[in-house]
A and B are shown apart, each in its own frame.
Chain A
Amino acid sequence: MAHAHTVKRHKGLMDWLTTVDHKKIAILYLIAGGFFFGIGGIEALLIRVQLAKPMNDFVSAQQFNELITMHGTTMIFLGVMPVIFALMNAVIPLQIGARDVAFPFLNALGFWTFLFGGLLLNLSWIMGGAPDAGWTSYTPLSSTTYSLTHGVDFYTIGLQIAGLGTLIGGINFLATIITMRAPGMSFMRMPMFTWTTFVTSAMILFAFPAITVGLVLLTFDRILGANFFNVESGGNPVLWQHIFWIFGHPEVYILILPAFGVISEVVSTFSRKRLFGYSSMVFATILIAFLGFMVWAHHMFTTGMGPVANALFSIATMLIAVPTGIKIFNWLFTMWGGQIRFTTANLFASGFIPTFVMGGVTGVMLASAPADYQYHDTYFVVAHFHYVIVGGLVLGLFAGLHYWWPKMFGRMLDEKLGKWEFWFFIIGFHMTFFVQHFLGLIGMQRRVFTYLPNQGFDLMNLISTIGAFLMGVGVILFLVNIAITASKPKGVAGDAWEDGRTLEWAIASPPEEYNFKQIPLVRGIDAFWKEKMAGNKEMTPAEPVGPIHMPSPTILPFVMSVGLFIAGLGFMFTNDDFGNGLMNFLFNNYIVVGIGLAITFLCMLLRSLYDDHGWHIEPDELNGKGVKA
């Protein structure tokens, strides 16, 4: 018998601030991620404008350092990671036949900590200077000796808070996928995107503690005068490089694996074929994750680790090409003989495959330690990682967004405009980054803010800048497409592409708040396709209609994150002289830090002491008249 708990329903802004619904959190992630993606994109364009011609003085050297640092940091931590989480949140509970994630409260907390961490990091632009030591923030460049502003403090503390959100999200998806799959969905019946999300979440769980530790050490060095990376006092700057890349290398696989999942779903749907080599895909995903933890030192070939270490990490790195190759061939064989439809989503997915292969090939080139001594810190490296991150991950995200947009919003994105987006973006992309391989090979260093004329750099840099603006046009067309789509009425069918294979297409677009009226019974891989082929219009239910238990909305995650934000800001300015007695008193005595932490811990206390049992949607509300508001 259902408990008669009532729930306070919020409207408007309060609804979004208090929501614990994975579908709404997905939209929040998408908006916030899109916002930071836009900031990172503008930074990229400013960088390209500065480099468009030799001896340019569009920005100063210091501003350029800040731009490249913030471009990298923003794009990776605040741009693409949240959009990945947007797709995971929107799709994973639906794909496994669940009503929400395992911990809806934590899901909201993860989003708000990410957002406030990101905002803190970007506040640096208006609070005395952005971080300027590169996105890798190598010591001693990032020490107080060489980086005098608070920039790097914004980096360490902002990323610490944002990283907390990512870690929370990863743990949440692990618990969700392990415990909440619908009856019949064994591990080897999970859709590929669920698999890659699962493996990605495990990698987050193992990799993020490393950066957490590293950021704490760097914060202590900078603010509390510790000496972890200070050679004079017995510290070691190479320690930072190890810690950073022990996190950093798995991080790039954390980024690309969800894109692999998206491509697997899109290619298979629009080829009207089962994914070729499903079990080898699963195996390859796990192998990539395993090897991803064993290769971090290939970023450090030139630090003098010696030939044995370089050889070992070279070989381990090259090995990753094998499972990646398995995936590439499986996608090609999925398309082989399929009834291929080149929708926008499938265009992006098809564009992904050759582009990512090019990034992979330069990756194997870079893995060769002797050759890396030549490539190291040149534009060749810049070209390589943009091929895998933009040509891989971002194309994958565009494919995923076009593919799941009808499921998330109940409206189809315009297909004609979508094709323009694709062509602008991919042509612009190759123009921008293809020439950068050669710029690197003829000796242009990365992170230089300008260069002398007549070294053979001039024309290629100009081409690269024009390409960057074409990519910008592609992204703007995408925004226009969203605006046009948003003005159209809702009313897309549940199975919006008509060839949907997985469980999310078996329910309405957008789904009801409770996703599934009855949890479905899964009878094979591609559960919904199997039912359709058996002549069924709907999934077979695995339970009778009954009251549905729902989590209550709550403002606590938002307030907790605000507390962390205040504490972070307070900690950063501990040693500053504001020229004002009151301000000095508040900051130098950790009073601001205390207030911030008190807010967060008070919220945790409230959450622990006040038992919230959630509420129920009764069966009579499910039928006919919909859910009572």
Chain B
Amino acid sequence: MVNQESNGSPTVKHRQRHEGPEKHIIAFIFSIVLTLIAFAAVAAGGVNTAFTVILLLVMAILQVLVQLGYWMHMKDKGHLIPIIFMAGGFFVAFTAIIAALYWMWW
């Protein structure tokens, strides 16, 4: 009896159909626009600094979400292992950075 947990059937593995380029192009345009807004906000200069900083942070967070969701496929099903690894990586990196900074400068 084949173990149901195993990956693929014992005969031929069928690849999931590729979703096509449309979503990737939309995500790509979205990434570029977010970057352009950020650049434009800094280049315009005139607006007050606090607003620019907040705008940059918002753009950055949106950018991360687009990158993770579309380019890293986090939004798709069947990506449990990549999500576990990303979360593990974040956890390790944040622990290391926060602890090291805390004991060096506070």
Contacts and interface: CB of A to CB of B under 8 A. Distances in A.
Contact of B104 (A236, A293, A521): A236
Given A543-B10, A543-B11, A543-B12, A183 B104 contact: no
Nearest to A520: B10
A293 B7 contact: no
A243 B99 CA distance: 11
Nearest to A306: B103
Contacts of A185: 3, 6
B3 A186 contact: yes
A530 B32 CA distance: 56
A178 B3 contact: no
Nearest to A540: B10
Contacts of B2: 183-184, 521, 542
A239 B96 contact: no
Contacts of B9: 183
A608 to B, nearest CB: 17
Contacts of B10: 183-184, 521, 542-543
A340 interface: no
B85 interface: yes
Contact of B89 (A178, A206, A243): A206
A596 B93 CA distance: 32
B88 A238 contact: no
A51 interface: no
Interface in A164-222: 174, 178-179, 181-187, 189, 202, 205-206, 210
Contacts of B103: 242, 297, 305-306, 309
Nearest to A305: B103
Interface residue tally of chain B, by bracket?
20 to 34
Contacts of B11: 542-544
B6 A293 contact: no
Interface in B60-106: 81, 85, 88-89, 92-93, 95-96, 99-100, 103-105
A178 B81 contact: yes
Given A186-B3, A521-B2, A296 B96 contact: yes
Interface residues of A, number: 33
A144 B80 CA distance: 47
A243 B105 CA distance: 15
A521 B2 CA distance: 8
Interface string B7-43: 1111110000000000000000000000000000000
A417 interface: no
Given A210-B96, A309-B103, A181 B6 contact: yes
Contact of A246 (B3, B88, B96): B96
A183 B2 CA distance: 7
B5 A186 contact: yes
Contacts of B89: 205-206
A187 B95 CA distance: 28
Contacts of A503: none
Contacts of A179: 7
A586 to B, nearest CB: 36
A187 B6 CA distance: 8
Given A183-B9, A205-B85, A542-B10, A242 B3 contact: no
A294 interface: yes
A522 interface: yes
Contacts of A242: 96, 100, 103-104
Main secondary structure of the interface of B (DSSP, over half): helix
Contacts of A305: 103
A202 B3 contact: no
A505 to B, nearest CB: 21
Nearest to B96: A246
Interface in A353-390: none
Among A179, A183, A243, A306, max chain B CB count under 10 A is at A183
A202 B7 CA distance: 20
A293 B95 contact: yes
Contacts of A543: 10-12
A293 B81 contact: no
A543 B103 CA distance: 57
A185 B96 CA distance: 35
Given A181-B6, A183-B10, A186-B6, A202 B100 contact: no
Contacts of B85: 174, 202, 205
Counting chain B CB atoms within 10 Å of each CB, which of A174, A181, A542 scores highest?
Answer: A542
Contacts of B95: 293-294
A293 B5 contact: no
Contacts of B12: 543
Interface centre among B8, B9, B93, B100 (most CB of A within 10 A): B100
A254 to B, nearest CB: 13
Contacts of A206: 88-89, 92-93
A607 to B, nearest CB: 20
Interface string A237-252: 0110011001000000
B41 to A, nearest CB: 29
Most-contacted residue by chain A among B2, B10, B12, B105 (CB, 10 A)? B10
A296 B99 CA distance: 10
Contacts of A205: 85, 89
A293 B3 contact: no
B37 to A, nearest CB: 29
A211 B7 CA distance: 34
Given A183-B7, A242-B103, A521-B10, 12 more contacts: A183-B3, A183-B8, A184-B10, A186-B3, A206-B89, A236-B105, A238-B104, A242-B104, A296-B96, A309-B103, A521-B2, A543-B12
7 contacts: A183-B9, A246-B96, A293-B92, A309-B103, A542-B10, A542-B11, A544-B11
The 4 nearest A-B residue pairs measured at CB = A242-B100, A542-B10, A186-B5, A183-B10
